[in-house]
Chain A
Amino acid sequence: MADDAIRCDACPVLCYIKPGRTGSCDRYGNHDGKLVRLDPHVVLDRAVERGDSVVPFLERGRDWDGTLVSHGETFVTAIGAGTTYPDYKPAPFIISSQVEGIDMVTVVTEGIFSYCGVKVKIDTDRHLGPECNAVRSQGEAVGHVTTSEYGSQMLSLGGVRHLTGGSRHEGTATCEALLNLCNGKAVELKIDNGAKVVVQAGKPPVVDGAQEERMRVGCGSATIGMFAKQWFGKVDDVVVVDDHITGVLSEHQAGKLLGVPETGIKLKGRRSTPGRYFQVAEPGTSWGGTDIEDPLTILGKFNARKAWPGLRLLMVSTTGEHHAYFELGEDLKPKEKELPASLKESVARIKENCEPALCTVLFMGGAGGSLRAGVTENPVKLTHSVRDALTRVTCGGAPVYVWPGGGITFMADVTRMPQNAFGYVPTPALVAPIEFTLRLADYAALGGYVGNVRPLSSIAAAEGQRRVTARADNPWPLESAEQKKQ
């Protein structure tokens, strides 16, 4: 094997690439013994021809000039930067790069976050567990069930009390669960008096072994409103079973407007307004997030003065996953029949209108005094600079939402960061990347370590980089505030 060939580890093909040549993908090449990504050179034509979305530095229309990094088209993330906690020294990398003639500084550090956690949104109508109950991983409490949102259940995991405020094992279990969730791995969580749920960022939740497929189209009442016209004339009454609000077509405003006659149907549960019922059953993981397996258990006897033999009744869940069709016998008792073709479409339509159910994981952390001290001699000035939008905060290059109020507490979608962006220390605490980007002049003004600023090219020459393609849907971190406004 020739010495000058290099092994590309960008994908499992692991090509040996000779100098001046590319690997089998035409995307990575050997440039003077270094592995470089060649998109600007090679893939640009293809990408443009296809009308493809391309990485940000291509959008600037500059050709690859053969150097490893060229000006503002490369952004150094904090992943793998290391940290100097406790921060009596400047952050490991303070990088300057030129953007449109303005010197930009990126202060790159991996923060050790003791004050951190994840907010998890699980798209499901199934009842995962009572609010405030503990969420466990490896038997240890790592967080709790918080609010129900529209079509979703929120969990709040981690936080300093679980990480360092409890037993050693609780801290380690919490740290491991957070690390895996942030790095996009699947984590099994058990909720006290509730469900077992497998959570993975960007993937459907698995609740008690069943993979969730879709979010409900709306609550039972909303579903009646949306589909009343499609049902009218094809069926005499429809019950949309929902743990929150179960809807009944003949009693609902939407049915009344269409002139659907009364059917003498009787729902169990607490009537809210006409055709809308709370608590028709216990919460669970079956029909519409209730515990019922047989939908007839939520119906009382039909009123003999209003119902008639042959009355047609559709019962369906808010996702269309469960449905049953009945006709009343001479005794006015519902008998299950095959769903008529004319109703199949509307059930399918409910299913179609449900969005794919996903788990989403937002990392939330606060940049403490010592981390900020790694950026500037006067930490509060950094906070003010972030507030004044002079400094942009990113997390592994991903955009963040900085909470209003004091400090720098931010949230970021873990799926928008490069792979394995997170690490941990045995404290236990999570290590997360954080970058502060601002103009060099502003950096000097807030007491930055100007003497430690290094040009981007000096990082490029160093060993141990991992170059990744920027995500097209992330804003480019080096874009200045002026450019953003344009």
Chain B
Amino acid sequence: MRQRAQIRLLPDGRRLHLQDGPIDLIVEAFGAPREIELAYRAAGARFITVLDELCSELPHLRRACLPEQAWPKGSVARRMVAAVMPYATQCFITPMAAVAGAVSEEILAAMLSVAELSRAYVNDGGDIALHLSADESFVVGMVERPDRPSLFGTTTLQAADAVHGVATSGWRGRSFSLGIADAVTVLANRAAAADAAATIIANAVDLPGHPAIVRVPACEMAPDSDLGARPVTQDVGALALKDVNQALNAGAETSRLLLKMGLIQSAALNLQGETRVVGAVGESRRIATPVRERGLVHA
């Protein structure tokens, strides 16, 4: 009762649920029972102060990230800034773009610092930090519409892939997007980096000025949004296939740039049933094998 944060095992007895304010994590560790217990205790202990730490620097974290600015104090906040810094000179981005990934990373790090785990993941609403020891793998499913959960693809990650972060961004998700992608899933070496990159790519999947897209200034819906008066996507009407392709091409171009810069390892872009994949992790483990066929696939 005493703390605001909720820390409990889910009824399956395996996964840990951590919730505090807007932070909602599902954690699972694999290994010897004693190690799992140690890991979960460490996760809980680290978790209880995370929201307070973030909130103490919230005004700073909601401002556009600039290369010369002072670094925040909190370790989660620093992970956030580090993740968005590569984009700071190129476009508007605030450290909040990486908050979910940074929290996942921090909790996973706390677990790995005390316990020997074969596998582990921390899932913050789809922004996932993961750990794999040699010869272990994870199968990650991708969902385009959170309101209608069904997989549009899966990918198998192995330790050798060095992917430690998976993140998804899109206008249908919990945070605002400047673009129109239903979902952009990014694999990167860190969760915060994946989170920031997914935001950037999802913003790039766009059709400026298209009449079927409803945009509203962010502050009209959430007065304290870090996006201020920037127009965020609230609805996307049915688009012609050529428009879908144009928007996806724009996003794919940004993805390829980020891939070249080493900021991501792979991205899967989804818009109205069409999918683009940029970069591949490992051989024959290409991201996004469509589970459902939806019309013709255009190159």
Interface residues of A (CB under 8 A from B): 1-2, 5, 10-18, 21, 23-26, 49-53, 183-184, 201-202, 348, 352, 414-419, 471
Tell me the complex Cα distance, A184–B58, Å.
28
Which residues of B, 2-39, contact A by the 8 Å Cβ criterion?
Answer: 2, 4, 8, 10-12, 17, 20-22, 24, 26, 34
The proximity string for B residues 83-106 relative to A, scoring 1 for CB distances below 8 Å and 0 otherwise, is: 000000000000000000000000
- For window 39-96 of B, CB contacts with A under 8 Å fall at 51-52, 55-56, 58
A25 to B55, CA, bound (A): 14
| B294 proximity list for chain A (CB < 8 A) | none
Cβ of B229 under 8 Å from chain A: no
Contacts of A25 in B (CB 8 A): 21-22, 24
Q: Is B222 an interface residue (CB 8 A)?
A: yes
Q: Are B221 and A13 in contact (CB under 8 A)?
A: no
Q: Which residues from A are CB-within-8-Å of B51?
A: 11-13
Q: Does B136 contact A (CB under 8 A)?
A: no
Selected from A17, A24, A50, A202, the residue in CB contact (under 8 A) with B22 is: A24
Task: Known A18-B220, A18-B223, A24-B22; judge A352-B11 contact (CB<8 A).
Answer: no
Q: Is the CB of B20 within 8 A of A15?
A: no
Residues of chain B contacted by A51 (CB below 8 angstroms): 10-12
Report which of B21, B149, B223 forms a contact with A16, defined as CB distance below 8 A: B223
Q: Is the CB of A10 within 8 A of B21?
A: yes
Select A419's contact among B1, B11, B56, B149, beta carbons within 8 Å. Answer: B1
A-B contact pairs, 11 of them (CB 8 A): A11-B51, A18-B220, A18-B221, A18-B222, A21-B222, A24-B22, A51-B11, A184-B1, A202-B2, A348-B34, A417-B1
With contacts A12-B52, A50-B10 known, is A415 near B22, CB below 8 A?
no
Q: Is B298 an interface residue (CB 8 A)?
A: no
Residues in chain A near residue B243, CB distance under 8 A: none
Give chain B nearest CB distance to A337 CB in angstroms: 26
Q: Which residues of A contact B8 (CB under 8 A)?
A: 53
Docked Cα-Cα span, A202 to B12, in Å, equals 24
- Interchain CB contact under 8 A, A2 and B2: no
Residue in B10, B21, B220 whose beta carbon sits within 8 Å of that of A12 in the complex: B21
Question: Smallest distance from the beta carbon of A423 to chain B beta carbons, Å?
Answer: 16
- Name the residue in A12, A18, A415 with the highest tally of chain B Cβ atoms < 10 Å from its Cβ: A12
A415-B222 contact given A12-B21, A23-B22, A25-B21, CB 8 Å threshold = no
B224 proximal to A (CB < 8 A): yes
Q: Which residues from 160 to 209 on chain B have a C-beta closer than 8 Å to any C-beta of chain A?
A: 174
Number of interface residues of B (CB under 8 A): 26
Check if A26 sits within 8 Å of B1, measured CB to CB.
no
Smallest Cβ-Cβ distance to A45: which chain B residue: B147
**A26-B58 Cα distance, complex, nearest whole Å:** 19
B254 CB to nearest chain A CB (Å): 26
Q: Residues of B contacting A415 with CB < 8 Å?
A: 1-2
- If the complex has contacts A415-B2, A418-B1, A419-B2, are A15 and B11 also in contact, measured as CB distance less than 8 A? no
For the complex, what is the distance from the CA of A183 to the CA of B1, rounded to whole Å?
10
**A15 near B224: Cβ-Cβ < 8 Å:** yes
Interface residues of B (CB under 8 A from A): 1-2, 4, 8, 10-12, 17, 20-22, 24, 26, 34, 51-52, 55-56, 58, 149, 174, 220-224
Judge whether A471 and B22 touch: CB under 8 Å: no
- Nearest B residue to A22 by beta-carbon distance? B222
CB atoms of A13 and B21 under 8 A apart: yes
Do the beta carbons of B55 and A12 come within 8 Å of each other? yes
The answer to whether B2 and A13 touch across the interface, beta carbons within 8 angstroms, is: no
The 9 closest A-B pairs by CB, nearest first: A11-B21, A184-B2, A12-B55, A25-B22, A16-B223, A24-B22, A16-B224, A5-B223, A415-B1
B25–chain A nearest beta-carbon distance, Å: 12
CA–CA, A18 and B225, complex, Å? 12
Q: How far is the CB of A428 from chain B (nearest CB, A)?
A: 23
Contact partner, B1, options A11, A15, A348, A471, Cβ 8 Å: A471
Given A12-B21, A13-B21, A184-B2, A24 and B10 contact (CB-CB distance below 8 Å) = no
For B22, the chain A residues whose CB sits under 8 A away are: 11, 13, 23-26
A466 to chain B, nearest CB (A): 13
Measured CB to CB, the nearest residue on chain B to A418 is B1
Seed contacts A5-B223, A184-B2, A418-B1; 17 additional CB < 8 Å A-B pairs: A11-B51, A11-B55, A13-B58, A16-B222, A18-B223, A21-B221, A21-B222, A24-B22, A24-B174, A24-B222, A26-B22, A49-B149, A50-B26, A183-B2, A184-B1, A415-B1, A471-B1
CA A348 to CA B35, docked complex, whole Å: 13
Among B34, B56, B223, residue most surrounded by chain A Cβ atoms (within 10 Å): B223
Please name all residues of chain A whose beta carbon is closer than 8 Å to the beta carbon of B24 when the two chains form the complex: 25
> In the complex, what distance in Å separates the CA atom of A416 from the CA atom of B22?
23
Contacts of B12 in A (CB 8 A): 51
Q: Which residues of B contact A50 (CB under 8 A)?
A: 10, 17, 26
Contacts of A17 in B (CB 8 A): 222
Could you tell me the distance in whole angstroms from the C-beta of A162 to the nearest C-beta in chain B?
24
A169 to B10, CA, bound (A): 47
Contacts of B11 in A (CB 8 A): 51-53
Which residue of chain A has its CB nearest to the CB of B55? A12
The answer to whether A416 and B1 touch (CB under 8 A), given A12-B52, A21-B221, A52-B17, is yes
Chain A's nearest CB lies how many Å from the CB of B183? 18
What residue of chain A has the Cβ atom nearest to residue B149's Cβ?
A49
Distance A26 CA – B223 CA, assembled complex (angstroms): 15
A99 CB to closest chain B CB (Å) equals 25
The answer to whether A15 and B26 touch (CB under 8 A), given A25-B21, A415-B2, is no
Q: Considering the chains assembled together, what is the distance between the CA atoms of A52 and B9 in angstroms?
A: 9
Q: Which residue of A lies closest to B11 (CB)?
A: A51
Q: Could you say which residues of chain B place their CB within 8 Å of the CB of A414?
A: 1
Chain B residues, CB < 8 A from A21: 221-222
Complex CA distance for A14 and B222, rounded to whole angstroms: 12
Known contacts A201-B2, A416-B1, A26 near B174 by CB under 8 Å: yes
Q: How far is the CA of A53 from the CA of B10 in the complex (A)?
A: 8
Q: Which residues of A contact B34 (CB under 8 A)?
A: 348, 352
Q: Which residues of A contact B222 (CB under 8 A)?
A: 15-18, 21, 24
Give CA–CA (A471, B1) in the complex, Å. Answer: 9
**Complex Cα–Cα for A417 and B2 (A):** 9
- By a CB distance below 8 angstroms, the chain B residues around A18 are 220-223
Chain B residues with Cβ below 8 Å from A14 are: 55
Q: Are A2 and B223 in contact (CB under 8 A)?
A: yes
Minimum distance in angstroms from B68 CB to a CB of chain A: 27
Q: In whole angstroms, what is the CA distance A51 to B11 when docked? A: 7
The residues of B that contact A202 with a CB separation of less than 8 Å are 1-2
Q: How far is A424 from B114 in the complex, measured between Cα atoms in Å?
A: 42
The minimal Cβ–Cβ distance linking A4 to chain B, given in whole angstroms, is 10
| Cα of A418 to Cα of B2 in the assembled complex, Å | 8
- Among residues of A, the one whose C-beta sits closest to the C-beta of B37 is A352
